[in-house]
Each structure stands twice: as structure tokens, then as C-alpha cells.
């Protein structure tokens, strides 16, 4: 049960951090404050949404949660495993290509080293949050591949909603303060999460994501 509590506390801490820092940033709208609070949020993201799932992989193990909690596992395990693999492929691709783009074109990373340049090439022309989309797909892939009801519920009702709240309430404001009008133009022309299939030929000159 320790790991269950750890997962829930991590999600709560991440959500509250996004709420509190979002409120604070709205009252202190400067580029410097956006940069400082962004690094703090990156800490809470890794501590709240990444570290607990890594712990649960090894203890007690993704496949053991349902038995410990008295929950039925997901049915049709071979199908669920195949579905998990199918979701993991684009998820890993999105996470890999976005990290490469942020380093190569943005002179930064997806976390504490904030990007210095605007990135609007490749997948960023189709969605503002390709890295987050990849993260969501991988979270669901782990749930289906393990056939765990608990992991699926935690991912779909905890991890993903908390992260979307962070994107909408904190990160969009942080990026607006850091990149100004160019980000607002990019925001108007590019979908929030689901990629568009026809690329925008207009030169928007902006980027987005966990910078």
C-alpha cells in the first residue's frame, strides 16, 4: 500500500504545485518569474508524476497492484498487451523526436534548461504538446501492457488530467510570458494536443512544450 499512497501523494503534490504557482504567476507576470517558476514545476513533475511510477514498476510491480487492492485485472490479457505495444510506439516516438528538436533547434531541453529559441518545426507544426501526447500514450501503454486496472485508473483519472491542468493553467501562461505575442499567434494556429494532419504553411515562428 505504500506505493499506492506514494502515487496518490505525488499526483496531489503536482496538481497543487501547478495551482499555486499558476495563481502566483498571474499576480507576478514577468519573464523572470515565469522562468523561475517553470523550473520549480519541472521538479514537481519529476517528483510527482515520474518518480512514483518508476518505484511502482519495481515495488510491488505493475501486475501486483490489483491483487493487493482486491481489484479485478483487465480482461483479454494478450489483447491488452498488444494494445499497450501499439500505444507505446507513437508515444516513444513523440517523446524522442521532441527532445531532439528542443535540443537541436531550441538550445535547451524539456526540463530545467529552458529553451532559448523558438521551435516550430516538424511535429511542433501539428500540435503544441507532442511531448505530452507521447507521455500520455506511454502511461496508457504501461497500464494496458500490465493489464492492471489500478494503473489504468491512476493514469486516466490521475496522471493525465493533472498534467493537462498543468499545461492549461500554468505552462501556457509561462510560455506567453517568455515568448510574448509570437506564442499567442502560434497558440491560435496550432492544436493543443491532437495533431492536425495538414501542416500549416503560414510561418508562425513560435514553439511550445516543456522547455
Q: What is the pLDDT of residues 62-121, one digit of tens each?
A: 888 898 899 999 999 999 999 999 999 999 999 999 988 888 876 666 667 788 777 778
208 Cβ neighbours under 8 A, 6+ residues apart: 124, 128, 129, 175, 183, 186, 187, 190
Task: Give pLDDT, residue 196.
Answer: 86
d(Cα 93, Cα 95) in Å, to the nearest integer? 5
Comparing 32-36, 163-167, 197-201, which segment has the lowest mean pLDDT?
A: 197-201
In this prediction, residues 41-48 reach a mean pLDDT of 96
User: By the 8 A CB rule, do 94 and 156 touch?
Assistant: no
Task: Give pLDDT, residue 202.
Answer: 46
Instruction: Give the chain as a DSSP string.
Output: -HHHHHHHHHHHHHHHHHHHHHHHHHHS--HHHHHHHHHHHHHHHIIIIIHHHHHHHHTT-GGGHHHHHTPPPPS-HHHHHHHHHHHHHHHHHHHHHHHHHHHHHHSS-SSSS--SS---SGGGGT-S-HHHHHHHHHHHHHHHHHT-HHHHHHIIIIIHHHHHHHIIIIIHHHHHHHHTHHHHHHHHHS-SSSPPSS---S------S--
Global pTM value = 0.89
Using CB atoms within 10 Å of the CB of residue 185, give its burial: 0 to 12 exposed, 13 to 18 middle, 19+ buried. Answer: middle
Task: Give pLDDT, residue 107.
Answer: 66
Task: Give pLDDT, residue 205.
Answer: 43
Average model confidence (pLDDT) across the chain: 89
In this prediction, residues 24-34 reach a mean pLDDT of 97
Task: Give pLDDT, residue 171.
Answer: 95
d(Cα 165, Cα 178) in Å, to the nearest integer? 19
Task: Give pLDDT, residue 198.
Answer: 65
Task: Give pLDDT, residue 106.
Answer: 67
d(Cα 144, Cα 147) in Å, to the nearest integer? 5
The CATH code that applies to domain 2-189 is 1.20.120
Taking the alpha carbons of 161, 108, 55, 37 in that order, is the dihedral positive or negative? negative
- Is 180 a residue whose pLDDT tops 50? yes
Amino acid at each position: 500500500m505504500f506505493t499506492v499512497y506514494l502515487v496518490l501523494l505525488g499526483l496531489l503534490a503536482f496538481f497543487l504545485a501547478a495551482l499555486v504557482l499558476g495563481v502566483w504567476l498571474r499576480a507576478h507576470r514577468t519573464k523572470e518569474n515565469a522562468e523561475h517558476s517553470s523550473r520549480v514545476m519541472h521538479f514537481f513533475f519529476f517528483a510527482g508524476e515520474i518518480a512514483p511510477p518508476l518505484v511502482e514498476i519495481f515495488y510491488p510491480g505493475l501486475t501486483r497492484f490489483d491483487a493487493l487492492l482486491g481489484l479485478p485485472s483487465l480482461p483479454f490479457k494478450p489483447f491488452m498487451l498488444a494494445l499497450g505495444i501499439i500505444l507505446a510506439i507513437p508515444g516513444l516516438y513523440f517523446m524522442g523526436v521532441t527532445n531532439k528538436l528542443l535540443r537541436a533547434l531550441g538550445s535547451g531541453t524539456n526540463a530545467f534548461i529552458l529553451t532559448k529559441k523558438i521551435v516550430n518545426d516538424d511535429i511542433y507544426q501539428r500540435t503544441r504538446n507532442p511531448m505530452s501526447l507521447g507521455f500520455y500514450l506511454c502511461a496508457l501503454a504501461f497500464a494496458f501492457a500490465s493489464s492492471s486496472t489500478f494503473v489504468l485508473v491512476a493514469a486516466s483519472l490521475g496522471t493525465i488530467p493533472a498534467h493537462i491542468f498543468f499545461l492549461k493553467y500554468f505552462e501556457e501562461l509561462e510560455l506567453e510570458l517568455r515568448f510574448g505575442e509570437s506564442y499567442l499567434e502560434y497558440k491560435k494556429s496550432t492544436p493543443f494536443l491532437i495533431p492536425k494532419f495538414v501542416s500549416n504553411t503560414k510561418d508562425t515562428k513560435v514553439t511550445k512544450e516543456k522547455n
